[in-house]
Structure 1
Amino acid sequence: MSERGPRTRARQFNSEGAPAFFAKESAFFAKELDLPPPIWWGVIDTHRSDVSGTPGSREVVVVVYQRYFERVTRFVDFSIKLAVIDELMYGDSPKLAPWSLEDTLEARGFDGDLWEYSFDNYRDQVMPEARTYFESLELSADLLGGVEQLIFDGGCQVYLECCPHWDGESDQFDVASLDDLHLLPNLKRVIGADRLAPQLQAFLRSRGIELID
């Protein structure tokens, strides 16, 4: 087998387009992929395979999934992420399959009134099932690059999935910061901007983003 490094031996490995890199088991390190240290662990799957055709020879097939090359992002402000999810999942041109709190609970045997259950047990809170799902939902840079508007409105579907009894008036979904704005390079407008604090509105204006009350 050639001693060439994994970078020169890249080829398509599976139907998802994940690039596979082949290297001697004793010689391969994650650093050779130039991956940032925080995502080395849990990103790489290793599989032993006799791919060379030589009896007794073993190589390590290292698959770095395509989604990590798409730069999966992390949000600082959960409320900003929810607004982005509402646009991508429940907007006029959805890019993600919708998630339903009701369907999730029914699959676990729940058959009561969702509004009452939410109000009685999670007043002024995000339902734990919704928080777990939306916080862990990975949004690639490609998806975020397609977001041109955000809507902050009490009737947004994502809020109803988080808190079915929410009346749209309390501050539990208020945006605290715009530190995530760099994740939305093509954002052009914000609808319902009057729900944002004045300093946040001023910051958006300074970036040339249209504000619509």
Structure 2
Amino acid sequence: MGKSEMFEDFNFKLVVIEAVLDKEPLFLKELTDLKDKYTNNFEWYSGAGPIVEIKDYLEELTLEMSDLEKIESLCFDGGNEIYHILKPDWDGEDSLFDVLSVEGFQNLKNLKTVDYISMCDPQVLEPFKQAGIKIED
């Protein structure tokens, strides 16, 4: 399966990436290096979009099954670290990272729960419910 085909919605891929950030994913060093390189020169509160180099990296990132297997829970929350890696001054007050589809969640074989706080309309989470994954809000 191609890297761009695993998840239909890039913003959902960000939720998945967030879920493995504290589980020593294979890509952590590369992402940390990019973050250190580009956030130090970030023009805060300039109205700029996400850091292009980090966004490009995350879009092209192939998530390995060994990392995906570590995921038992996802959290849909505007306070997730991944959003502030991409856009350090993001305040969560717009729809920049809203999830429109969770298609591809089937790749998360060990997913058991989803914490829903924000970042999508509740109906977007219906496929989780249909698959027997518990939604907590």
| Cα contact 2:7–2:105 (8 A) shared by 1 | no
CA–CA distance in structure 1, aligned partners of residues 116 and 129 of structure 2: 14
Matched, 1:205 2:137: no
Higher normalized helix content (fraction of residues):
2
- Give 2:19's match in structure 1, choosing from 71, 87, 92: 87
Residue 193 to residue 102, structure 1, CA distance change in 2 (3 Å): closer
Structure ranking higher on relative contact order (CA contacts 8 Å, 6+ apart) = 2
- Give 1:119's match in structure 2, choosing from 32, 45, 51: 45
Structure 2 equivalent of residue 133 of structure 1: 57
> For structure 1, which runs of at least 5 residues remain unmatched after alignment?
1-70
Runs (4 or more) in structure 1 with deviation over 4 Å come to: none
Q: Which structure has the larger Rg over C-alpha atoms?
A: 1
> For structure 2, which runs of at least 5 residues remain unmatched after alignment?
none
Deviations 1:30-88 (A, max 9, x none): xxxxxxxxxxxxxxxxxxxxxxxxxxxxxxxxxxxxxxxxx664322111111111121
CA RMSD of aligned residues (A): 2.3
| Cα contact 2:19–2:74 (8 A) shared by 1 | yes
Local SS of the residue matching 1:87: helix
Local SS of the residue matching 2:90: coil
Taking structure 1 as the reference length, the TM-score comes to 0.54
Amino acid at match of 1:94: E
Matched, 1:181 2:105: yes
Amino acid at match of 2:8: V
Amino acid at match of 2:19: E
Amino acid at match of 1:120: S
Aligned length: 132
Amino acid at match of 2:99: V
Percent of residue pairs bearing the same amino acid type:
32
CA–CA distance in structure 2, aligned partners of residues 200 and 160 of structure 1: 23
Structure 2 equivalent of residue 67 of structure 1: none
Residue 161 to residue 194, structure 1, CA distance change in 2 (3 Å): closer
Structure 2 equivalent of residue 147 of structure 1: 71
Amino acid at match of 1:146: K
Local SS of the residue matching 1:119: coil
Local SS of the residue matching 1:120: coil
